[in-house]
């Protein structure tokens, strides 16, 4: 039986979404276009902290479902040529998550 490099790790989709929101807000990757966004593989490294990926393509495949749902929910927006950015709703959600975590 072969074991993968991340076989002992698990992160829920909700935790992945939270990590992406907070990471992108911290890096100020918002809708205003001041900075370039993240490619899908870059989003994966935010979503799955501590995971090891063999290639950027593998990372992008791993996070595809999370990114699609976040775009559908209006939290992320893809700017072709620049990557993914937080929308205003995404930045608001990230700030709310940060406030909630500070209370705990």
User: Looking at residues 43-71, what average pLDDT do you find?
Assistant: 86
Q: What is the pLDDT of residue 68?
A: 93
Percent of the chain with pLDDT over 70: 79
Q: Is the pLDDT of residue 2 over 50?
A: no
3-state helix, strand, coil in the chain (%, to 5): 55, 10, 40
Could you state, in order of their start, the residue ranges of all structural domains in the chain? 13-103
pTM: 0.77
Q: What is the pLDDT of residue 49?
A: 84
**Which CATH architecture group holds 13-103?**
Orthogonal Bundle (1.10)
The average confidence (pLDDT) of the chain is 80
User: Looking at residues 44-65, what average pLDDT do you find?
Assistant: 84
CA atoms within 13 A on the CB side of 37: 22
Number of helices (H), then strands (E), in the chain:
4, 2
Q: Is the pLDDT of residue 89 over 60?
A: yes
Query: CA-based angle 8:13:19, to the nearest 5?
Result: 90
């Amino acid at each position: 039986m072969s074991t993968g490099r991340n076989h002992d790790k698990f992160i829920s989709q909700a935790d992945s979404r939270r990590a992406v929101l907070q990471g992108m807000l911290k890096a100020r990757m918002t809708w205003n276009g001041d900075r370039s966004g993240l490619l899908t593989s870059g989003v994966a490294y935010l979503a799955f902290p501590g995971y090891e990926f063999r290639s950027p393509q593998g990372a992008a495949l791993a996070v595809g479902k999370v990114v699609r749902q976040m775009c559908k929910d209006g939290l992320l927006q893809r700017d072709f040529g620049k990557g993914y950015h937080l929308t205003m709703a995404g930045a608001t959600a990230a700030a709310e998550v940060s406030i909630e975590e500070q209370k705990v």
